[in-house]
Amino acid sequence: MFVLVNLKAYPCDAVAVASAAADVADDSGVRVAVAPQAAQLAAVAETGVETFAQHVSPVEHGSHTGSTLAEAAAEAGATGTLLNHSERRLKLADIDAALRAAERADLETVACANNPEQIAAVTALGPDAVAVEPPELIGTGTPVSQADPDIVEDAVAAAASVDDSVGVYCGAGISTGDDVLAARDLGSTGVLLASGVAKADDPRAALEDLVSGL
């Protein structure tokens, strides 16, 4: 299982969370990555944790003020990127262009989608993994694996019907080790979460709990 922690724009100490994540990954042998704000990519990468950009723009070098260039994210230490998160939605053509941008920079890609139908469409574009995250459950603390387990199983089936080499992650509401195990039992190969770690009083303890059953 892969644990990908999105720090969003929460007022947390990104470097402290990243250091904890690096330690937990080393101690447990579980793959853990952190996705900070773009301005914090280099500082987070310096902790040794796998570092993902929260987004890269569907652009090349040029006149693109305000864009997040994939090559710049990679130079800052990112090894992967999220795309099409519910809070940073893209048109299908832009997802495709952003995936190509990430490929140019040798970034691993996780493309998000709201439901199995969208999972199938995004899988067809060729990301390394997809993440199903019903937007109504994001930040609620209610995991999709409990609220609507069928959507996870259907997303896994939808991705496999298009390209069974693409991993499927479970997002929205994941916050405990039990949630991670439930996601795995439904066929997920990873989880995508945010507030369960970024807003935790003790991020290291939260991370240790997440990987405790793996």
* Rounded distance between C-alpha atoms, residue 193 and residue 5, angstroms: 5
Q: Which residues of 110-149 are buried (b: 16+ CB within 10 A; e: fewer)?
A: bbbbbbbebbbbbbebbbbbbbbbbeebbeeebbbbeebb
Active site includes 85?
Answer: yes
Give the active site residue among 50, 75, 117, 133: 133
Per the CB < 8 A criterion, the answer to whether 163 and 126 are in contact is yes
Per the CB < 8 A criterion, the answer to whether 37 and 10 are in contact is no
Give the active site residue among 85, 108, 136, 153: 85
Give whole-number Cα distances, 6 to 18, 38, 120, 160, 191, in Å.
11, 12, 23, 25, 11
148 Cβ neighbours under 8 A, 6+ residues apart: 134, 137
Active site includes 117?
Answer: no
Give the count of alpha carbons within 13 A of 33, CB side only: 22
- What residues act catalytically? 85, 133
